[in-house]
Amino acid sequence: MRFWPKPPSARRPNALHRKDIFTAALFLFPSFLILGIFNFYPVGDVFFLSLFKWDNLSKTKTFIGLGNFVTLAHSDRFWNSLVITAEYALVVTAISIFIGLILAVLLNNQFLIAKSFWRGILFLPVVTPTVAAAMVWILLFNPGFGFVNIVLRFFGFTGLNWLADKHWALPTVMSLGIWRRIGFTLILYLAALQSLSKEYYESAEIDGATSFQRFVHITIPLLRSTTIMLVILGVIDSFLVFDQVMVLTRGGPSNATEVIGMFMYSTSFSLFKLGYGSAISVVMFLVVAIFTLLQWRLVGFGSAEEGE
């Protein structure tokens, strides 16, 4: 009777394997230490602090359980910030995806010259610091000498005080978000377009399909996974937006641009309600976590094309 050796996975780890594990753990320890100190511990502390009433000045914290979350659920200001964040996410994500897709299709044209130049120019807003871009936006939309109002007056229209008008402040903030996200959307769509098989288009062209029909019935369906990923990433990014609102409007006028991140900041560091602000952070964390898990479920982990 012949006995076959056990596969490597069924064998007990020998001394060499244990040494490899120890070496790997030794090299990973600094990374885990940094993640623990700067990521895991702050997250855990925020969850812990959300159960207390604390003003960041007194030495003692008063335990109130889920009291902060109950107060949050009955806060009109919280729901207003949630609605504003949802509006921001919807408009910025939809418009940036639409424009990004159109630009990606144009850049994917084989007859276009200086493709690298146009890609670099269109991707530039992504790497531009948000604060610097927001300062430029303040100058562009200045009610007195801003370029936007100068153009409007040239055509006979009345200039607006964009960032001080509660009806126009949020669209102005959205325009900056759209400008910053188009480049990111464009690059992902362009990479996805270049990975599509040309056989589909050749078959459709033989059948007499026009360029528009090929775009609608072939390109858009094949980019479904990339579009889903961009939608989810856009929503996540919208719930984390803060710096551009802080520079442009500080949540005003009359809380018209107070996204949930701005609401959390003002509650924690202006009103000194650290426990209440931590509860807002927990809500933000859970929303982002849900959309992240949704992305992994619908698209896959690490690749935009895994869901195809």
Residue 273 domain-assigned (yes or no): yes
Q: Is pLDDT above 90 for 89?
A: yes
Q: Is pLDDT above 90 for 185?
A: yes
Residue 129 domain-assigned (yes or no): yes
Question: In angstroms, rounded to a whole number, what is the distance separating the alpha carbons of residues 239 and 225?
Answer: 22
Supply the pLDDT for residue 59. Answer: 82
Supply the pLDDT for residue 115. Answer: 81
Kindly give the residue spans of alpha helices, DSSP state H, lying in 50-168: 67-73, 76-107, 115-127, 130-140, 147-154
pLDDT bracket for residue 306 (50, 70, 90): very low
The two three-digit tokens of residue 161, written as one number: 């005080």
Q: Is pLDDT above 80 for 237?
A: yes
Q: From the CA atom positions of the chain, what is the Rg in Å?
A: 26
Q: Which residue has the tokens 């949540």?
A: 251
Q: Which residue has the tokens 């107070």?
A: 258
Q: Is pLDDT above 80 for 308?
A: no
Which phi-psi region, left, alpha or beta, contains residue 302 (left: φ > 0; alpha: ψ -120 to 50)?
Answer: left
Identify whether the C-beta of residue 47 lies closer than 8 Å to the C-beta of residue 277. Answer: no
Supply the pLDDT for residue 111. Answer: 79
Q: Is pLDDT above 50 for 304?
A: no
Residue 30 domain-assigned (yes or no): no
Residue 21 domain-assigned (yes or no): no
Mean pLDDT, the chain, as a whole number? 87
pTM equals: 0.84
pLDDT bracket for residue 305 (50, 70, 90): very low
Q: Is pLDDT above 90 for 263?
A: yes
Residue 245 domain-assigned (yes or no): yes
Residue 38 domain-assigned (yes or no): no
Most confident of 86-90, 119-123, 217-221: 86-90
- The tally of domains found in the chain comes to 1
Question: In angstroms, rounded to a whole number, what is the distance separating the alpha carbons of residues 189 and 122?
Answer: 13
Dihedral, CA of residue 219, residue 224, residue 227 and residue 231, to nearest 10: 150
Supply the pLDDT for residue 16. Answer: 55
Supply the pLDDT for residue 87. Answer: 95
- CATH number of the structural domain spanning residue 279: 1.10.3720.10
11-40, pLDDT tens digit by residue? 555 655 777 888 888 888 999 999 999 989
235: containing domain: 67-298
Residue 56 domain-assigned (yes or no): no
Supply the pLDDT for residue 267. Answer: 92
Residue 141 domain-assigned (yes or no): yes
Supply the pLDDT for residue 14. Answer: 60
Supply the pLDDT for residue 197. Answer: 84
Supply the pLDDT for residue 216. Answer: 87
Q: Is pLDDT above 90 for 94?
A: yes
Supply the pLDDT for residue 5. Answer: 53
| Averaged pLDDT for residues 175-186 | 94
Lowest mean pLDDT among 13-22, 152-161, 232-241, 296-305: 296-305
- By C-alpha distance, which of 184, 194, 183, 182 is closest to 222? 194
β-sheet bridge partners, residue 63: 52
Question: In angstroms, rounded to a whole number, what is the distance separating the alpha carbons of residues 23 and 197?
Answer: 44
The two three-digit tokens of residue 235, written as one number: 């929503």
Question: In angstroms, rounded to a whole number, what is the distance separating the alpha carbons of residues 226 and 192?
Answer: 7
Helix or strand (DSSP H, E) at 193: helix 169-194
Q: Is 195 helix (H, G, I), strand (E, B) or coil?
A: coil
